[in-house]
Each structure stands twice: as structure tokens, then as C-alpha cells.
Amino acid sequence: MSSTWVNQTPTGGKASLPTKKAGWFSKRFHWSDFAFAALLLAAAGYASQQYHSFMDIYEISILWSCVPVTAYMAYRWGSLKWLILSVAGLSLLSIAFYGGDLAAAEQRFFLKYLLSSQSAILWMGVMFVVATVSYWIGLVGRSPTASFVGTALTWGAVVIGFAGMFIRWYESYLIGPDVGHIPVSNLYEVFVLFSLITAIYYLFYEQVYKTRQLGAFVMLVVVAAVGFLAWYGVERQAYAIQPLVPALQSWWMKIHVPANFIGYGTFSIAAMVAFAYLLKVYAHAPSIKALIPTGILGVLMFLEPLVFRSGGVSIYWALYLGIGCVVVGAILLARKRIADALPSLEVLDDVMYKSIAVGFAFFTVATILGALWAAEAWGAYWQWDPKETWALVVWLNYAAWLHMRLVKGLRGVVASYWALVGLLVTGFAFLGVNMFLSGLHSYGEL
């Protein structure tokens, strides 16, 4: 195995690699697993009976397929039970307050300031920002309490954010049955989805690896998405629920878009963990070496205000740019202290690899589903539309990364740089294509 590709590093830090368990059902079943599965069956049965007039056979199939998948995921990761129950409870409480009247969102205190969809998403954004600050205080200040607060706030943001998405789905039907749709149809909605998926996958890895130090890095991507939401919601009034364009009036959207964004979210986690890896490697190296990965992070952060400026850099984006400069500069200056608090390079490498592996699997499924959807909508599986072409570029990029890892033993610095730069490729496929290239997916442009 060529030493060009392999970076042998000693194990250190508090986090450790998770112990491998044999078999799919190595964990013993608990009575709560059966109770939760029964609750999912009851909920699916109620939804099928109550809302069958709004669903076709494919959508009913999707609903019932989610039951065993969700039950198994909750069996493997117990925290998912409490997440789903909390989201369901808040969503049902909000629906009860609405009472079938959309105007209640402005008339009732609980809805107006907490659990209308827009209020919930705003709270999600605030909690993500404060969680990020807490994670950084915990990392730099060696404060377990601050790190715990970051985790608690991230969980809270995920709960209220998912509740907001389900409430938005309900609100769309209150506007009109012909308007109602799953809230993954425009940039505003998918940025919310991206933030939530990235956060929940990070929380899973946080529990598996028993470390909170990576939250400071991963949450920077989430906060960048929240920054976009704050601008896009106010500047373009994007929070308003709009009817679906004809191209999106399909049950395919319910499975294609979430699968895509699991890929985007986990690729983003891998990129930020890769940055943490490089920071740890170069912590005690000359500043010029540490400046390279930090500079790439700066490019990733600074592209947002440059791309979304409207008639010049607005006060909002100027402030965003200023905060970004301070963050990147502070990371560079405090790199030694930060690096000493990070998990071992072995753990960072493992998280990066598993994030890309998960993202690649879901992105592959999403690409296949997109091709099937295209065949139904446009009569051809593949037409070399810019969005399709760049999706293929993303797929090939991570396929090559995984191939080099599994066949050639790719590790360390090269793998990390590749994963970090890969976020630029993914970001262009996600946003750049819609903004700068025209094609069959032009309905998603700003």
C-alpha cells in the first residue's frame, strides 16, 4: 500500500471507535421497541383512514413502508423514539390549536409565537445559532457544561424544526386541498430540511462516538443554512406557502428529495470533520500549512454572501461576511488549543468515512429515483440536463473517494482535503446549477 495515500497516526483523545456488534439484531429487544412499533402501526392506520382521499396508492405504500423502516431505526437508536414522539406531540398540539382555521395562526398566542410553522422554524434557527456558540465555548473553554447545552439545544432545534415542517404540511392543506403538499418543494423548505438532516445525523454520530467536540465544526454548516433562511425568508418572502408547479406534482417528490438531502447533509458532515482532521494535523505546523484548510473553509463560508447578494453586498450579507472572517480567523489563531480538545485522528477519519458512505448510498438511491421520476414526467430516464449532469459529477466524486479508500487505502490528509473540497462540488450541484444554469430543473431557481 502506497505511503502516498496512507497517513498513519496515533490514537489519542477521549473519543474512541465504536465497538462493532455482530448481526443486524445484536441488540436485545426491549418492551418499548414493541410498544413503539405498535404505535407506528396505529398512527399509519389512522392516517390511512383519515387522509386516504388525499393519497394515491403510491403514497399509501410509502406511508406503510415507513413503519418497519422507522421501527427498526428506533430499535437501533433509542433516541429516535423520543424524537418522533416529541415531534408528533407538538405537531398534534398545534393542529388542535388551529382547529381547521388557518387564521388562528395570527389570533392565538401559542401559534403566533411558538408553533405555527413559521414561528417553529424561527425558533429552530435561533436554537441552532445558540447551540453552535455553546459548542465552541465548550470546545475552546474545555467546558463540558457548555458542550452539553449545545447538544440539548441542537436536540431542541431538531424537535421544533421537524414539528414546524409537519405543521407547514398541514397548513398547506388549510389553504386548499389543491395547494397541500409535503414541504420539500422550494429552496426555503429544502434548506430547513438540510439543516435538520445534518443536525440529526451529527447527533447520531455524537452518541455513537461519545464526543461533543465535533459539534462546533458541523454546526457551522447548519448555521450557514440558517443564515440563508433568515435572508431568503425576509428578502424574498419565501416562507409563504405556494402551490406546486406542475413538474413537482408527483408522489416521487416525497422520496426523491429526502433521499437527496440525506446525501447532502452527510457529505457536509464529512467535509467539516475533514476540516477538523486537517486542523489537528497542522495544529503545530507553520501557519502557512494551517492556513490552507482554513482558507478552504473561508471560501465555503464567504461564497454565500457573494452568491446571494442582491444589487451589491447588502448590510445583512456584509455582517455575515464580517462574522465569517472573525470565525475563520479565530479558528486559525486558536488551532492548537482546539486541536488538543478534538478526538483522535482515527476517530475523525472513521466519522468522515462513515458519513460519506451513508451519503453516497442515499445519493445513489436519490439519483435512481430521480431517473425514474424523469422517465414518468419527461419520457426519458436521462437527458443530460445541468442538474442531472452535476448530480452525476457529485456521485462520481464520492464514488472515486470511496474506491480509493477501500481499494487503495486512502487515508489522512489527502482524503480530508478531498472531502472538504467535495463540499464545493456538492454545493454547486445543490444551488449553483439552479442559479447559473438553465434546464428542466429551472423551477428551483432563486
Q: Is residue 148 located within the same domain as residue 288?
A: no
Total structural domains within the chain: 2
How many Cα neighbours within 13 Å face the side chain of 366? 23
C-alpha 218 chain-centroid distance: 10
pLDDT, position 188: 92
Q: What are the angstrom distances between the C-alpha of 82 and each of 35, 88, 238?
A: 13, 10, 31
**Residue 69 domain flag:** no
Query: Do the beta carbons of residue 148 and residue 191 sit within 8 Å?
Result: no
Q: Is residue 380 located within the same domain as residue 239?
A: no
Q: Is residue 196 located within the same domain as residue 284?
A: no
pLDDT, position 22: 47
Q: What are the angstrom distances between the C-alpha of 343 and each of 18, 217, 286?
A: 13, 12, 22
Among residues 244, 278, 293, the one where a domain terminates is 244
Which H or E run includes 160? Answer: helix 144-175
**Residue 42 domain flag:** no
Q: Is residue 337 located within the same domain as residue 439?
A: yes
Q: Is residue 293 located within the same domain as residue 374?
A: yes
pLDDT, position 295: 79
Report the C-alpha gap between 370 and 377 in whole angstroms. 10
Mark the ranges of the chain whose per-residue pLDDT is less than 50.
Answer: 1-13, 22, 24
**Residue 273 domain flag:** yes
Report the C-alpha gap between 14 and 348 in whole angstroms. 12
Report the C-alpha gap between 1 and 430 in whole angstroms. 35
Containing structural domain, residue 389: 265-446
pTM above 0.85, yes or no: yes
pLDDT, position 79: 95
Q: Is residue 187 located within the same domain as residue 327?
A: no
Quickly list DSSP for 187-232.
HHHHHHHHHHHHHHHHHHHHHHHT--TTHHHHHHHHHHHHHHHHHH
Kindly report the length of the chain. 446
Query: Do the beta carbons of residue 343 and residue 213 sit within 8 Å?
Result: yes
Among residues 180, 214, 244, the one where a domain terminates is 244
Q: Is residue 288 located within the same domain as residue 228?
A: no
Q: Is residue 279 located within the same domain as residue 364?
A: yes
Among residues 211, 244, 277, the one where a domain terminates is 244
pLDDT, position 97: 95
Q: Which three cell numbers stand for residue 200?
A: 440529526
**Residue 333 domain flag:** yes
pLDDT, position 287: 65
What letters, b where the CB count within 10 A reaches 16 and e where it falls short, cover 364-376?
ebbbebbbebbee
pLDDT, position 313: 56
pLDDT, position 86: 97
Q: Which three cell numbers stand for residue 198?
A: 445534518
Q: Is residue 149 located within the same domain as residue 284?
A: no
CB neighbour class for 241 (10 Å; exposed up to 12, middle 13-18, buried from 19) = buried
Q: Is residue 312 located within the same domain as residue 182?
A: no
**Residue 196 domain flag:** yes
**Residue 45 domain flag:** no
pLDDT, position 173: 93
pLDDT, position 18: 76
**Residue 444 domain flag:** yes
**Residue 14 domain flag:** no
Q: Is residue 214 located within the same domain as residue 287?
A: no
